[in-house]
Structure 1
Amino acid sequence: MSRKVAVVTGSSSGIGAATARLFAERGYNVVINFSRNPEPAQKVADECAALGAEVMLQRANVAEDADCRALAQAIEARWGRCDALVNNAGTTKFVAAQNLEGLGAQDFQDIYAVNVIGAYQMIRALAPLMKRHPGAGIVNVSSIASVSGVGSSVAYMASKGALNAMTFGLARALAPEIRINAVGPGMVETPWLQQGLGQERYEATRQSYMKSTPLGATIQPEDVADACFWLCDGARKTTGEFILIDSGRTKFPLL
């Protein structure tokens, strides 16, 4: 089979859905992944199929190693190859950083289980398949929270910092067959964030973000998808990088 295959975790909405659609539009077959509700995932799968892709819809909780390995086995059985993996699945708990009692050990464990361990388990499960096609690319979706000290919670910030460190270590370990990079989106306009912050706080954060960036803009899911596709399909000499997608917010704050 000559058509390339891309796996996008957490692809039933937001960044994951935009990324899956872009891969489908650019000639890839795609794996749409969800952990709970199949209906939004099915909608994205239908959109990708309409763009000409063969689509696999797969329920998998990336925090469960058995689910990751089952997903890899299903891809092996259907297509026998995997050329791109975007580790987009993520979770958080919205707790102000000053509220130290708002987070417990279990919160950290739950967030790390998806944001860090889940990404590792997906890479481990798919690495043997990806090594068959040198130049395969992996992108871990991190966040500016990993470097800015601002985010939905301290546990979330820490998990994304750990994801960055893992990206650097595995980029060295899995070279030269597999390239691994990370992207750090700024404020991405998604229903998930709006729900987490609440409408009033969301709009205030959005206005503040736009005013404090050189480009005067928040981030759209499609902006992140563009970077993920380039790092997987192009960028042949790029590995172990952390690329900010934040309208310049991190490097030029509070202009």
Structure 2
Amino acid sequence: MNLRNKVALVTGGGTGIGRATSLLLTKRGVTVAVNYSRSRVEAEETVLTINKEGGRAIAVQADVSKDKEVRGMIKLLVQQFGTIDLLVNNASITRHIPLDDLEGATEEIWDELFDVNVKGMFYCSRAVAPFMNRNNEGAIVNLGSIAGQTGLGSSLPYAVSKSAIHGLTKSLARALAPNIRVNCVVPGAVATRWWAGREEQMQKLAPNLLLQRISTPEDIAQLICAALEQEAMTGQIITVDSGQTL
């Protein structure tokens, strides 16, 4: 798929991987809606950067865990741009809980992480599907995590939620074929604000990776764009982790 002149929604698009993806998409001629829930300042700064560089972007607020807000956001975007062609389901949250602290994984934390990380991706995919089907083509990329493959992550509920995203990708790929392709990009350690306060831990990890480097948000953004473009691929879980899980 040629991305030029397409319209994309990037959830959590104002920070980290979402920001890098928003910037790279606009460089490829895509109009980008930068979604945010609470990071308004970062989203608006990202949009300002894009527009200053000659791209086209807007910031749009919605909590992806709320289906009504998601549907309202998609309605607004279609009213403004006429359609939506691409979706990057990037918005995710975590809670840092030792893996063996089972009591720390409360019902509230399970609900919060699954509402945003899993149901949020489903709500966004469901909301954009009618417009992509109307165009007879569309592409969705979900952001997974190696935590969903290894079971090791910032918390047990987070790892399980990411595993669920990998499964959701395969199910959506079947449900939305043949017009809409759905793939999942699975990062390992990435130098984002996720590591805030744990930078020393991140630096200790880097030499132990096969490529001896922590991925950058730009690394992940490049693969996201490639997955959006690749017309012969759907239902795939693609790992980019500097060899961390090998």
**1:213-252 matched pairs, under 5 angstroms:** 213-232=209-228, 234-251=229-246
**1:162-181 matched pairs, under 5 angstroms:** 162-181=164-183
TM-score (norm 1): 0.92
1:193-217 per-residue CA deviation (whole Å, 9 max, x = no partner) reads 122xx24xx3124322x23322111
**1:23-172 matched pairs, under 5 angstroms:** 23-172=25-174
**5+ residue gaps, structure 1:** none
User: For 1:239, what is the secondary structure of its paired residue?
Assistant: coil
Greater than 2 Å deviation, 4+ residue runs: 50-54, 132-135
8 Å CA contact 1:80, 1:129 repeated in 2: no
Equivalent-residue separation in structure 2 for 1:134 and 1:144 (angstroms)? 32
Equivalent-residue separation in structure 1 for 2:64 and 2:96 (angstroms)? 21
Equivalent-residue separation in structure 1 for 2:20 and 2:56 (angstroms)? 16
Question: How many residues are matched?
Answer: 243
**5+ residue gaps, structure 2:** none
User: For 1:131, what is the secondary structure of its paired residue?
Assistant: helix
Which residue identity lines up with residue 232 of structure 2 in the other structure?
A: K
8 Å CA contact 2:151, 2:160 repeated in 1: no
TM-score (norm 2): 0.95
Q: Give the CA RMSD over aligned residues.
A: 1.2
Equivalent-residue separation in structure 1 for 2:168 and 2:39 (angstroms)? 29
Identity of aligned residues (%): 37
Which residue identity lines up with residue 55 of structure 2 in the other structure?
A: A
Equivalent-residue separation in structure 1 for 2:90 and 2:140 (angstroms)? 11
User: For 2:169, what is the secondary structure of its paired residue?
Assistant: helix
Equivalent-residue separation in structure 2 for 1:134 and 1:47 (angstroms)? 32
Structure 1 position 224, deviation (Å) = 0.7
Which residue identity lines up with residue 22 of structure 2 in the other structure?
A: A
